Structure 1
Amino acid sequence: MKEWSRIPVSFLNPTAQRRPIAQPQPGANAPSPDDGRQDARPPRTKTQADGSQRVQDVHHLWRSRDNRKGRHAIAVSPSAEGQFLAPPSTNTLRPILHTLWRMLTYYPIWDVSYQVAQWFTWGSVVWVINSFLVWLPSVRPSSAFPGESTNGGGISAFIGATIFEIGSVFLMIEAVNENRTQCFGWAFEETLERNGLLRLRPSSENCTHHHPNKRNLVGNRVIPEGASAHDKPLAPKKFAEAKVLETWVWFPTWHELRHHYIREIGFLACAFQFLAATIFWISGFTALPPIQSLAGQASLSPPSCS
């Protein structure tokens, strides 16, 4: 596999990169993928009961969206003579079912990315209810009840717009708290039963994103009682210190906005989303029943004669 970087627009920062993390040592038993032989890349073989596979090299697959969401993806080259053990692929049936099960049973309310998804999901649910309150009486008058469209539709529209606005605030918080160190989030450990093979495993200790922080929703990580802040690499830092050591940012500096965030396509998308949600939220006030009644009276009253 080759190293590459993907830039959608010339003046923007890369949105995807692939960089080598671990490559086979020279003189190893594994054949080189570029030696021209037909059997240079043997088929994947599973070496463990849990489905772990031997691979030839490991690349960090960095994507800007994954970076904002605290995800860590890798790309591997399966090989029967590989020097590394990698977890099973996530696009098989068992990992997919496991992910679907976690979606139903796991609720990381401390995770800002989870809050973004929840607010926008429930906001959409409110707007579906609003569509029934406003549209259903026109196609089935027998199901209508007093105030269904004016009160129910207006109030639900305002609530839906408010939920979208709150979700957009969390979206901006998520965008300014992206991890700039291009966190790897994996660790290597030696497996003695496999002649010193290196096993690659997910590691929350090596992750510098704010997402693993389960002690508070916003702000820097809370240091447990009895622990020294100096012993914690992810302890709260002063705002003026290097951002690579900081786990939470409320407001970026003007210098950061001009030289970094203005070139981040994810931040720009979140900023436009926040602006649109704010305009939409303001217009949601006009859907409230008292404002609607006042607007209706103003439109029906004749112009005054001077």
Structure 2
Amino acid sequence: MHTKYSKDDIKRWHLELHPDVVRELATNSFPHPIKHAFHPTHANLTHTHGSEVRTQEWTSRHHRKHRHIQVSPRTNKKRHETTLLRKMARLRKIEYWNISWWVATSFTLGSIIWVVNGFTSWLPLVNSHFGVSLVSTGVTTFIGATIFEIGSIFGMWEAWNRDDRASFGWAVHHNHDEERVEVKREEVEVAVVQRGGNKRWIWFTLDRRYWRELGFLAAFCQFWGATIFWISGFTALPSIQEGLLSRNGVRDGVFWTPQVVGGSGFIISSTFIMLECQHKWYKPKLRDLGWNIGFWNFIGGVGFTLCGALGYGSAFKSGVLYQSSLCTFWASWAFLIGSVLQWYESVNGVQ
């Protein structure tokens, strides 16, 4: 028997359990009856081996982010550290084999470009010694939007190619008799195995099962938000902006509106990320790393959306232009904080 249900448990499950594992308390953060339409984001997995019983908390985010991989498949070195400084030092690692690393580093690089863009667009409004330059603002907008689009594609691949199996001690916070214990990879495998065994790398799929996973929904909204937002990046190029300066209606349609719609996609995506990490939809999980990543990206999405919304009136009032540019500035820093946290998350395994 693989499950023990309570009235609040979600019976829907997208992974096949090893015969020795019992799944309990499988749930997500949504209220009844919505929660039963989606796959669980948290579950307790219990393995009994003789007189020894071990219980683990499985999370869908750790599973998708490959944080269960304790040993690098390329160097055979451990990916889990015990102190904060050593964990931070792992940011130096280039995990080219890890799609989650590509997601995080892409958004970090893109956020740095956006921070530069925030300075070039806002500082001239604060200090007259800095001149307004369509070249610097336009080029950085285009590059930043393009890198965000690339990062969003990586995010889709990450969601489609989550691991097929999670052995004992992977993708979980585990406890044994209420004490944390070290679990080695070579120990008995308590697997969560995808139906059909190992799967090939997925570049694109229309498989409907992913629509019930909050992680995929977050990646999907991020992708379409970034794709629509990229239109603003393209129309920000100097030669195009020069032609739009005297055509406010066209500029509103092809420059400001994609920012509003694309930024809204970032907000929705970040909301899914936070909900995936929470146990209750109304209860923030402030001490959770994944939740904080979603929170800072949410702030960034709000800033980018406000930048576009205020942009409609920026041609008529200097104060509105100031606030629109300021939104880009603080939103870029919020995205950078969230991206660095995601980078830290991607290179540090959990036990």
TM-score, length of structure 1 as denominator length:
0.58
Give me the CA root mean square deviation: 3.5
**1:115 has 2:102 as partner:** yes
Deviations 1:107-135 (A, max 9, x none): 21221100000011111111110011111
Shift of 1:249: 1.7
Report the counterpart of residue 142 of structure 1 in structure 2.
129
Asked if 1 retains the 8 angstrom alpha-carbon contact of 2:167 and 2:185, the reply is no
| Distance of 1:143 and 1:245 partners within structure 2 | 57
| 1:216 aligned partner | none
Matched, 1:63 2:59: yes
Amino acid at match of 1:184: S
1:17 aligns with 2:43: yes
CA contact (8 A) 1:208 1:247 kept: no
Match of 2:202 among 229, 240, 249: 249
What amino acid is aligned across from residue 162 of structure 1 in structure 2?
T
1:143 shift after superposition: 3.2
CA apart distance, 1:299: 5.5
Give 1:202's aligned residue.
Answer: 185
1:140-186 residue CA offsets vs partner (Å, 9 max, x unmatched): 11133xxx4311001101110001000000000000011244x1255
Which residues of 2 match residues 1-306 of structure 1 at below 5 A? 3-7=24-28, 8=30, 9-22=35-48, 25=51, 57-72=53-68, 94-103=82-91, 105-144=92-131, 148-181=132-165, 183-184=166-167, 186=169, 200-203=183-186, 243-252=196-205, 254=206, 256-257=207-208, 260-298=209-247
1:138 deviates by: 1.4
Cα deviation, residue 207, structure 1: 11
Structure-2-length-normalised TM-score: 0.51
- For residue 292 of structure 1, report the CA deviation from its aligned partner: 0.7
More strand by share: 1
Q: Which has the higher helix share?
A: 2
- Indicate conservation of the 8 Å contact 2:164/2:198, yes or no: no
Q: Tell me: higher relative CO, structure 1 or 2? Use CA pairs within 8 A at least 6 residues apart.
A: 2
Identity %: 36
TM-aligned CA deviation for residue 58 of structure 1: 2.1
Q: Which of these two proteins has the greater Rg computed from alpha carbons?
A: 1
Count matched residues.
Answer: 203
Structure-2 separation of matches of 1:185 and 1:247: 23
